[in-house]
């Protein structure tokens, strides 16, 4: 016998990462496939961050600070909160899993709009909770309908702003309205993995909502705008009691020494990080303009990616782009998500798209 796995786990499909450029290159015999599938930044770590990482190597014989006190203090100063309102985890995905483990049990309900981040249903199934999915409206989180779907058994609700994979945002006023209509017994998880890329002025500083809403927790990450996806470090902002409950389910020493050092250095270099984000946003504007000029009907992108809601054409379009060496993320029957990369790569995507779909399919 090989043990007796939990039925809930045996039934889990497992997280499906974007395909690597190398795998696609090998499959199709292409020399220069490019990966625009996982919303990574098209740059390596900033020089000062790379220095902090290499300087940390000599410390790897020891466990890192489990509580990451220095990093928490830096994040707190960075966002203007107290250190006890901040925690860190192994990527914000790690924190999302901790939130489910800390707050949701068998038979509880978890509400979300859909399509959204694919980890939510996996973590919900892991704790054997019931998933409540509310459709997006115009590719955007439909907060009134989500609020209407939440009842006394709903322990947690996800609001993803910007949403992944559609890239759309809801305004902060709408979030305030939502928080006002959700029972305080439901924890609201505001996933802001892409908040640094938002330019829509309806979205304002969500940390200002925390004092009035102790059931709100905000998650952010060093993976996207900070370009540190491979190091696995994200953070959560919320009421000290919520922070304490998240901390109880952190795997010992899950946020390693290099990740803590790199995250601190990246906060120190925030102005350089913002310059990179601005470059990505400029490319986003250019790619969006080119797509719309070509007749594509796409929602307003506010993350570092664009969304082609091609529905029935999604899988075929993803495959056709892949055969031309452009690896995107296709959601079968829904759409194709394309990460904004360097100017060259974005041009390769636009050229490949024009080749495989001379006529837009959305
Ligand atoms: C990328 C992403 C995350 C998690 O990223 P980490 O690397 O685990 O910090 C969380 N939420 C959304 C919506 C994402 O797209």
Ligand 1 proximity of 162 Cβ (cutoff 6 Å): no
- Using the mean position of ligand 1's atoms as its centre, give its distance from the Cα of residue 358 in Å: 33
Give a yes or no: residue 50 inside a domain: no
Please give the residue range of the domain that contains residue 143.
Answer: 57-269
Give a yes or no: residue 37 inside a domain: yes
Ligand 1 proximity of 91 Cβ (cutoff 6 Å): yes
Give a yes or no: residue 2 inside a domain: no
- Using the mean position of ligand 1's atoms as its centre, give its distance from the Cα of residue 121 in Å: 14
Name 314's bridge partners. Answer: none
Residue that wins the pLDDT comparison between 118 and 19: 118
Q: How many angstroms separate the first and last alpha carbons of the chain?
A: 51
Mean pLDDT of the chain: 97
Band (pLDDT 50/70/90 cuts) for residue 317 is: very high
Complete DSSP assignment for 133-171: EEE-BTTB--HHHHHHH--TTEEEEEEESS-TTT-----
Total-model pTM: 0.97
- Who contacts 142 (Cβ-Cβ below 8 Å, separation ≥6)? 113, 134, 135, 136
Band (pLDDT 50/70/90 cuts) for residue 18 is: confident
* Alpha carbons 337 and 329: distance in angstroms, whole number: 5
Whether pLDDT at 13 is above 90: no
Phi, psi for residue 24 in degrees, rounded to 5 = -70, -40
* Ligand 1 pocket mutation, candidates 192, 224, 226, 231, criterion most atoms within 8 A of CB: 224
pLDDT digits (tens, 9 = 90+) for 334-344: 999 999 999 99
- Using the mean position of ligand 1's atoms as its centre, give its distance from the Cα of residue 107 in Å: 26
Same domain, 116 and 265: yes
Give burial (CB, 10 Å; 0-12/13-18/19+) of 192.
Answer: buried
Same domain, 122 and 208: yes
- Using the mean position of ligand 1's atoms as its centre, give its distance from the Cα of residue 295 in Å: 30
Domain-terminating residue out of 217, 244, 269: 269
Whether pLDDT at 106 is above 90: yes
* Alpha carbons 213 and 176: distance in angstroms, whole number: 9
Q: Looking at residues 139-166, what average pLDDT do you find?
A: 98
Alpha-carbon Rg for the chain, nearest whole angstrom, is 20
Same domain, 256 and 161: yes
Q: Looking at residues 329-333, what average pLDDT do you find?
A: 97
Give a yes or no: residue 361 inside a domain: no
Q: Looking at residues 40-65, what average pLDDT do you find?
A: 94
Atom of ligand 1 nearest to the CA of 221: 9
Q: Is 246 left (phi over 0), alpha (psi -120 to 50) or beta?
A: alpha
> Which value, to the nearest 10 degrees, does the dihedral of the CA atoms of residues 146, 152, 155, 161 take?
20
CATH number at residue 140: 3.40.640.10
Give a yes or no: residue 68 inside a domain: yes
Same domain, 301 and 257: no
Q: Looking at residues 27-43, what average pLDDT do you find?
A: 92
Greatest alpha-carbon pair distance for the chain in Å reads 60
Same domain, 166 and 225: yes
Band (pLDDT 50/70/90 cuts) for residue 14 is: confident
- In the chain, the number of structural domains is 2
Whether pLDDT at 19 is above 90: no
Same domain, 115 and 19: no
Q: Looking at residues 303-321, what average pLDDT do you find?
A: 98
Neighbours of 207 (CB within 10 A): 17
Same domain, 113 and 234: yes
Same domain, 105 and 95: yes
Answer whether 228's CB lies under 8 Å from 218's CB.
no
Ligand 1 proximity of 195 Cβ (cutoff 6 Å): no
Same domain, 18 and 139: no
The confidence score (pLDDT) of residue 147 equals: 98
Domain-terminating residue out of 225, 246, 269: 269
How many angstroms separate the Cα of 163 from the Cα of each of 121, 183, 186, 301? 15, 23, 20, 9
Ligand 1 proximity of 90 Cβ (cutoff 6 Å): no
Same domain, 105 and 213: yes
How many angstroms separate the Cα of 69 from the Cα of each of 76, 87, 133? 10, 9, 37
| Closest C-alpha to ligand 1, atom 6 | 91
Give burial (CB, 10 Å; 0-12/13-18/19+) of 340.
Answer: buried
Atom of ligand 1 nearest to the CA of 163: 13
Same domain, 167 and 295: no
The confidence score (pLDDT) of residue 318 equals: 97
pLDDT digits (tens, 9 = 90+) for 198-241: 999 999 999 999 999 999 999 999 999 999 999 999 999 999 99
Domain-terminating residue out of 202, 237, 269: 269
Same domain, 117 and 179: yes
Assign 12 to helix, strand or coil: coil
CATH number at residue 16: 3.90.1150.10
Query: Taking the alpha carbons of 137, 130, 88, 90 in that order, is the dihedral positive or negative?
Result: negative
Band (pLDDT 50/70/90 cuts) for residue 193 is: very high
Whether pLDDT at 15 is above 90: no
In percent, the amount of the chain with pLDDT more than 90 equals 93
Q: Looking at residues 51-80, what average pLDDT do you find?
A: 97
């Amino acid at each position: 016998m090989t043990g007796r796995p939990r039925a809930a786990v045996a039934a889990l499909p497992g997280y499906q990462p974007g395909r690597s450029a190398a795998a696609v290159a090998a499959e199709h015999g292409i020399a220069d496939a490019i990966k625009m599938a996982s919303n990574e930044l098209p740059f390596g770590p900033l020089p000062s961050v790379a220095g902090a990482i290499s300087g940390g190597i000599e410390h790897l014989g020891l466990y890192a600070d489990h509580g990451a006190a220095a990093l928490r203090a830096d994040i707190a100063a960075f966002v203007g909160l107290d250190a006890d309102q901040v925690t860190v985890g192994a990527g914000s995905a790690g924190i999302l899993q901790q939130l489910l483990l800390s707050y949701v049990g068998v038979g509880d309900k978890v509400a979300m709009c859909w399509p959204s981040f694919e980890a939510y249903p996996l973590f919900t199934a892991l704790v054997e909770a019931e998933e409540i999915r509310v459709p997006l409206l115009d590719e955007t989180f439909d907060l009134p309908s989500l609020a209407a779907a939440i009842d006394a058994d709903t322990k947690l609700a996800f609001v993803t702003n910007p949403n992944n994979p559609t890239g759309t945002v809801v305004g902060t006023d709408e979030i305030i309205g939502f928080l006002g209509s959700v029972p305080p017994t439901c924890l609201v998880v505001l996933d802001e993995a892409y908040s640094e890329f938002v330019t829509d002025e309806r979205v304002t500083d969500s940390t200002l909502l925390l004092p009035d809403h102790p059931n709100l927790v905000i998650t952010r990450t060093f993976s996207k705008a900070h370009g540190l996806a491979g190091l696995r470090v994200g953070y959560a902002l919320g009421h000290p009691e919520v922070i304490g409950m998240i901390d109880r389910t952190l795997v010992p020493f899950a946020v390693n020494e290099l990740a803590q050092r790199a995250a601190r250095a990246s906060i120190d270099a925030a102005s350089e990080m913002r310059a990179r984000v601005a470059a990505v946003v400029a490319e986003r504007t250019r790619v969006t303009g080119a797509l719309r000029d070509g007749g594509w009907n796409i929602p307003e992108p506010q993350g570092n990616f664009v969304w082609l809601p091609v529905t029935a054409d999604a899988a075929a379009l993803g495959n056709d782009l892949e055969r031309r060496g452009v690896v995107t993320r296709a959601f079968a029957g829904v759409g194709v998500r394309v990460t904004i990369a360097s100017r060259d790569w974005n041009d390769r995507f636009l050229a490949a798209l024009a080749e495989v779909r001379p006529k837009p399919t959305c």
